[in-house]
Amino acid sequence: MRPGVLTPLFASAQSLAGVGPRVLLLLKKALRLPPGVSAPRVVDLIWHAPTGVIDRRAEPTVADAVPGTIATFAVRVLKHKGPPHGNAKAPYKVACEDETGRIDLVFFHAERKFIERQLPVGSVRYISGRVERYGDALQMAHPDYIVPPEARAELPMLEPVHPLTAGLSGKVLLKLMRQAVERVPDLPEWQEARWLAARGWPSFREAVARLHNPQESGDVSPGAPHWQRLAFDELLAGQVALAMVRQSLKAQRGRAIAATGAIRSKLVDALPFALTRSQVRALGEIEADMAAPQRMLRLLQGDVGSGKTAVALMAMAIAVEAGAQAALMAPTEVLARQHAETIAPLADKAGLSVGLLTGREKGKPRAEILGRLASGEIDILIGTHALFQPEVVFRDLAFAVIDEQHRFGVHQRLALQTKGGSSVADVLVMTATPIPRTLLMTHYGDLDVSRLTEKPAGRKPVVTTLASLDRLEEVIEGLRRALAEGAQVYWVCPLIEDTGASELAAAEQRHAHLAQVLGAGQVGLLHGGMPGRVKDATMAAFAEGRLQVLVSTTVIEVGVNVPNATIMVIEHAERFGLAQLHQLRGRVGRGERQSYCVLIYKPPLGETAEQRLKMMRETEDGFLIAEKDLELRGGGEVLGARQSGMPEFRIANVPGFELLLAAARDDARLLLNDDPALTSPRGAAVRTLLYLFECDEAVRLFRAA
């Protein structure tokens, strides 16, 4: 159960004064809600950090006011002057003065009675807004604040500016923020006392109050002490959660898998290339993990074309040599079928039986596969998330490979592991997306890591060139010459169809154009909106050489393998992230012939886009590219976090992120070494922290303990 002390924060935002159905809907648009949360809560307002501040501290006299600046005055209301009859466009004016001069308050399309109630003639009012000069007179159009002297304290002298949405005013959001901050309780301190004192950080409650009620203009900077404290809180919660998940998984009964090596030696003979040193090293680490009695949970990260599938197959063979079964799970049908086509011929030569199970296998064929799996006749099952379904029963699953791990949630990973029966299956997760060290700590802290850093011998570097959009016809002419020599080409576009709302090239539009100039029979189209069978048929036609050009969206980003394809054209390359460009380029250069990647961009390029494209031209090292991607996009955005389901930070995208993260990781390890069940006073406070940041997986673990 969530601690009762947090109940006010996890109440619906509708519990705040002024939040009806309309405002609730606007909040849902403005706030960044975590996955699975459909309606805003008070805590979601707390994490909605300001992006700037309006300084209203300047309180000059009217005579000293500088046009173009924001100022706050105490003025007496002299008279109201409505627009002339028949001229609705003219403004409503209210003349005001202080002891030094006059200023007009100007309102367009105003309701007279409302203004008369706000500004009664003869009353004193505090006004705040932007001062302007109109002819010889000073004026303030639609003052931001108009308050009587007794409500002077309500006028924010430093007003935080939060991200908004159409229809939600800053003033309304500020009132809600004040209520939300008032609900933050005094919580037990979860940070280590000496660490807190050394940094001069405030308590959690003070930090939240200072974030949303700045006392200095620098208070809305992510480098400010209170913001750094909140960032560390979020990172500490994440690191403790990952360490607890890891601790729990490692504590589960594993299975020592001893293998003979007989099947692997046959596979080595069947492979068309010699294993690289890093493949041999990774296999050694995996074999040692599998032989140990503890659970194995390892991440295999290898750049595109580094031979992860070969390592996965050899590792699955270890389980089969021991008389058990293995599974390989991919995020899409296209990728699952690709794996099956790559693995089946090699497995066949080594005497391994391979099955394929996706959502498309139905009726008799599906029943037959399930029967062969349950009897142990299938050694290796390859499939999609269909492998999670309850009716998929293995005779003895000892080893599971999960490809492109970031596309699956932790729950899905755990669901596959438990199909091992009495003991939980060893797990190898793979990604072709090189992950910077920082992201490894943040998102994969529960995994041991192996890296493949070499490409199989004979692979030539891909030559990458840049071409502006006005040279499009030159690029097409070059393709025509390459096609005449038997080349195959990918052409990637960012959108499926031309909606008219975007100037981006649409795949369907580009397909029509290329079919016209290169010949309709040579050009195919592939995108995520097509039925699975059509996608597979198109991909097969391209792989078999019946199509020479494949126009596609990023659906071909991961896993598709056509060694004869030697040219990758990426249109509007400036719109893609670095990691995505690198993944797409990895679709070529998979054979022995020289391959090329052409990045077509629309000038002028912004500074970040220019750095991305320059990096692509300079290196093929995915790990260097991933570090640059992190630098350009920040921790919470990197590697397409929004698309991939990786957690995003709500408050922790701050200067010094890496140092804070490393400190949080060390702190989490020390804490759990001394207090693995979190029963000490500090441990109990950290439990509250985990609930506060909704680290559900860890919360479930200590609830079950």
Please give the Cα distance from 394 to 382 (Å, whole number): 12
Instruction: Give the closest residue to 445 by CA, choosing from 691, 644, 632, 668.
Output: 668
Sheet holding 124-130, edge to edge: 132-134, 137-141, 101-107, 92-98, 70-81, 124-130, 145-147
Locate 514 and state its tokens: 């290329």
Contact, 143 vs 128, CB < 8 A? yes
Please give the Cα distance from 581 to 613 (Å, whole number): 9
pLDDT for residue 110: 82
Residue type, 79: K
Locate 540 and state its tokens: 């097969």
Ordered structural domains, the chain, with CATH: 4-54+164-220 (no CATH), 57-155 (2.40.50.140), 262-452 (3.40.50.300), 463-619 (3.40.50.300)
Instruction: Give the closest residue to 230 by CA, choosing from 699, 648, 650.
Output: 650
Contact, 461 vs 293, CB < 8 A? no
Locate 556 and state its tokens: 């071909």
Locate 279 and state its tokens: 């493949």
Place of tokens 């299975």: 255
The helix or strand, by DSSP H or E, that contains position 132, with its residue range, turns out to be strand 132-134
Angle in degrees, 0-180, between the axes of helices 262-270 and 333-349, rounded to the nearest 10: 110
Cα dihedral 609, 610, 615, 618 in deg (nearest 10): 150
Q: What is the 3-state secondary structure (H, E, C) of 229-294?
A: HHHHHHHHHHHHHHHHHHHHHHHCECCCCCCCCHHHHHHHHHCCCCCCHHHHHHHHHHHHHHHCCE
Locate 453 and state its tokens: 């850093």
pLDDT for residue 655: 78
Tell if the pTM clears 0.85, that is, is over it: no
Residue type, 595: S
DSSP 47: T
Locate 295 and state its tokens: 């659970």
Q: What distances in angstroms separate CA 535 from CA 78, 355, 492, 526, one per listed residue?
A: 74, 21, 15, 6
How confident is the chain (705 residues) per 10-residue block, as mean pLDDT? 92 96 95 86 96 93 95 96 84 95 93 93 96 94 95 91 92 94 97 94 97 91 94 92 76 80 91 89 94 85 82 95 93 83 92 90 90 95 84 90 62 54 74 68 69 76 92 93 92 68 66 89 86 83 91 69 88 86 84 89 89 90 75 48 49 82 91 93 95 75 48
